[in-house]
Every structure is written in C-alpha cells, then in structure tokens.
C-alpha cells in the first residue's frame, strides 16, 4: 500500500512538472516555485490525513474491557456477587452502543452460534466440575457449537440498563473516556466463565473478553 502511494505521488509530480515546463504561457519561475510548493503542501496534507484515518484506522472506535468482582455472604450458602465492568474508549472517535433493531424480536447481534439480547452484556456460565484433566476451557467448543448461545443454564444481563430510555439504549463514550457498568447476582460457590460483549452501532463494531472467576464457599468468605 505504501509503495503504491509513493508511486502515485511520483507520477502526479512528474505530470505536473512536465505540464509546467511545456506550457508556453507558463508564469515566471518564482510563481512556478510558489505554486509548486503549494501543490506539494496540499499533497502532503492529503496523504497524512489518509495515513492517519485509513492506514492507522483512527476513524474507527476501539473498546477496552476489564472486569472485577466482589463477593458478599448471603443466606442459603450463596454469595451476593457484584460484577464491575470497566469500558474504555481507546480510539480517536466516539463509540456508541447499538440501538434496538428495526424489527421487533430481532437481536442486537445474531449469527449461526448465538443471539445476544443486549448491546452490552455479561454472560455467566458455571464450569462443570467433571472436566477431564488438560481439557481446554472455552466458551465455544465442539459441543456448545451444536447449540445456540446463550445456553439454557447461562445467565445473561444488560450492563447498560441505567443508560436506556423507554427500553432503548442511549450509551456512548468519547475518546479516552471510561465508564463503570455493573450488575449483581446471588450465586452458589463454584468456578464460572464470564463473557463481556460490547456491540457498536455499525455492523463491524464488536468487542468481547472472556474471564474466569471463582465464587468461594461462603464459610471461607465469612472468615476473611
């Protein structure tokens, strides 16, 4: 791409120089130099804008996702667990959550393997205790791919419910802004996969991170 840009610039400059030299009505040398310098400046500015906004993709949003959680003892040997998700706009443009689809019943995101109800969601899945040693722990694997995600036992929560009007998400972040969004559940102790997904307003704006968390036994939390 860079070689093609350089070749194109050289061709344009050569054509411009030939036209100036061959034009019988060309202006004085000082005017030629001035006009030539202006053309060069415009070309450099145009290429710099192209380089920044296309080659470096500065016109596209970029989202960072972090997750933290805290467990509080609750009745019936369960724990009240609050998940604190930090969303950071690491790009140079505004990042906006996708609004509701036009058709009722459609999902903000849907493909062959999953349907997501929310533009910014937290999915929780308990990891079975009988997984063989050395078996990779993934959200999507050979067995899960045969079914649509979320699975019946998964927990799905809307992380930006505080940023909705009449059920419609109104959430955006300016460059360098960070937001804390969260949700809490009463969960039994165990090991879980937590998957956070942010869906932007355009079809190619999709960010996701998966975390592994441990909900300890209530007696251990109480001692601490």
pLDDT digits (tens, 9 = 90+) for 100-116: 765 555 788 888 788 89
Q: 52-61, 104-113, 137-146 — which is least confidently predicted?
A: 52-61
Report whether 139 contacts 194 (CB < 8 A).
no
User: At 209, which helix (H) or strand (E)?
Assistant: strand 206-215
The pLDDT-based confidence of 33 (bands split at 50, 70, 90) is low
- Residue 159: pLDDT over 90: yes
Calculate the average pLDDT of the chain: 78
Give the mean pLDDT of 185-207: 91
* Strands annotated E in 90-205: 95-96, 109-110, 115-116, 120-126, 155-158, 164-165, 168-169, 172-173, 178-188, 190-199
Distance CA 170, CA 167 (A): 9
pLDDT of residue 36: 59
Coil, strand or helix at 80: strand
pLDDT of residue 55: 47
Give the mean pLDDT of 187-204: 91
Identify the structural domains of the chain with CATH numbers, from first to last.
2-55 (no CATH), 63-223 (2.60.40.10)
pLDDT of residue 167: 77
Helix %, strand %, coil % for the chain, to 5? 25, 35, 35
User: At 14, which helix (H) or strand (E)?
Assistant: helix 2-22
- Residue 56: pLDDT over 90: no
Distance CA 118, CA 191 (A): 24
pLDDT of residue 149: 81
């Amino acid at each position: 791409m860079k070689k093609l840009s350089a070749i194109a610039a050289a061709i344009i400059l050569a054509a411009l120089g030939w036209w100036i030299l061959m034009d019988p009505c060309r202006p004085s040398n000082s005017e030629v130099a001035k006009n030539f310098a202006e053309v060069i400046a415009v070309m450099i500015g145009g290429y710099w804008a192209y380089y920044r906004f296309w080659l470096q993709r500065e016109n596209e949003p970029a989202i960072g996702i972090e997750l933290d959680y805290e467990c509080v003892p609750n009745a019936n040997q369960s724990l009240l667990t609050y998940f604190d998700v930090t969303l950071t706009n690491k790009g140079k443009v505004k990042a906006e959550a996708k609004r509701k689809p036009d058709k009722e019943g459609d999902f903000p995101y849907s493909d062959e393997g999953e349907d997501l109800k929310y533009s910014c969601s937290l999915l929780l899945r308990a990891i079975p205790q009988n997984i063989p040693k050395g078996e990779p722990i993934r959200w999507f694997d050979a067995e899960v791919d045969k079914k649509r995600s979320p699975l019946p036992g998964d927990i799905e929560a809307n992380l930006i419910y505080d940023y909705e009007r009449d059920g419609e998400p109104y959430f955006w972040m300016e460059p360098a802004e960070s937001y804390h969004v969260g949700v809490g559940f009463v969960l039994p102790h165990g090991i879980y996969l937590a998957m956070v997904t942010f869906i932007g307003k355009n079809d190619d704006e999709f960010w996701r991170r998966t975390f592994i968390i441990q909900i300890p036994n209530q007696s251990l939390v109480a001692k601490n």
